Chain A
Amino acid sequence: MSVTDRDIVSALQAGLPLVAEPYAAVAADLGLPEDALLTRLEEMQARGVIRRIAVAPNHFRLGMVANGMTVWDVEDARVAELGTRVGALPFVTHSYERPRALPDWPYNLFAMVHGTTRDEVEAKRGQIAEILGTASRASDVLYSTRILKKTGLRLRRKGPTCSD
């Protein structure tokens, strides 16, 4: 009777079963009482192992066919302050500081913007440019043209090395 976090992740990584009581179904597979599983999941959520339990929509199928990864070369000294302001924009779904890869890639601030058209994404990109002002020395936008894979985290099947 030792169900690890890893076992729980494995049981849930493909998603929740679409039934009225999904945790009862997963608990039965794991050989746990349902309330024990719920308690474990609460702990995992409290520790941040589970971020949230939610739906991942396919932006393309929802008509958000323009998905622009906007990238910016921002002064290092100002990236935290400006990144926070960019990340707070309602249309920015995620925003990160990442290392540059010179000389190929001078950009250190990434902000993902979705829209129904590329014009809409360009307008939003313009709003980001206004916030960054002269602190941004160069920028680009990379539109996604195809989802090649989207599965989320998958654990590899291997020995019991990585238990909690």
Chain B
Amino acid sequence: MTLDATDRALINRLQEGLPLTSAPFEGIAAEMGITVDDLLARLERMKASGAITRFGPFFDAAAMGGAFCLCAMAVPEAEFDRVTEQVNAFPQVAHNYQRTHRLNMWFVLATETPEGIAEAADAIEAETGIAVLRFPKLQEFFIGFRVAA
């Protein structure tokens, strides 16, 4: 599907965040000169087509006593699909990307306790037979996450 200018403006606007009010789309729809129904239909369409992966609250596992950790594995090409299936089956794996490097699988673990990171990483190692390198954040320099659509 192709996105029109309004779709793109909507994505840009909604990356900024939504107010915590009973009818949170009203103000944004008015701002953009569209109806709430049109706005919701556009979101529905973009979600269905995959232009939007998720819409809603972003939770911080650390603030709930949990933890995040970036991990990487060097997966042999021939085993890549099998390992992907095994890794993705862990609910603690929040996202997972294939990347251009000998370390070709990079995923983020999000767990409810700090100990959960080591448990999950160890379990993934045991199941796949491949070492899981762990790169927990030591310092965060920016948390923008926004891109221009």
Contact = CB atoms under 8 A, between A and B. Distances in A.
Given A57-B149, A98-B136, A140-B101, A162 B44 contact: no
Contacts of A69: 99, 106
Given A41-B20, A42-B20, A88 B103 contact: no
Nearest to B100: A143
A38 to B, nearest CB: 6
B16 interface: yes
Contacts of B57: 12, 16, 41, 50-53
Nearest to A39: B20
A144 B63 contact: no
A122 interface: no
B18 to A, nearest CB: 4
A58 B22 contact: no
Taking chain B's interface residues, is the majority helix, strand, or loop, or is none over half, making it mixed?
A: mixed
Interface residues of B, number: 77
A14 B59 CA distance: 11
A54 to B, nearest CB: 5
A106 interface: no
Interface in B103-148: 103, 105-107, 110, 112-113, 133-147
A143 B53 CA distance: 20
A61 B49 contact: yes
Contact of B135 (A62, A92, A99): A99
B135 A15 contact: no
A20 B40 contact: yes
Most chain B CB atoms below 10 A, which of A15, A34, A41, A84: A15
Interface of B: 3, 8, 11, 14-18, 20-26, 36-37, 40, 43-44, 47, 49-61, 63-65, 70, 72, 84, 87-88, 91-103, 105-107, 110, 112-113, 133-147, 149
16 contacts: A12-B59, A16-B55, A23-B24, A53-B17, A56-B55, A62-B147, A83-B141, A92-B142, A94-B145, A95-B141, A98-B70, A148-B105, A150-B95, A151-B95, A153-B61, A155-B112
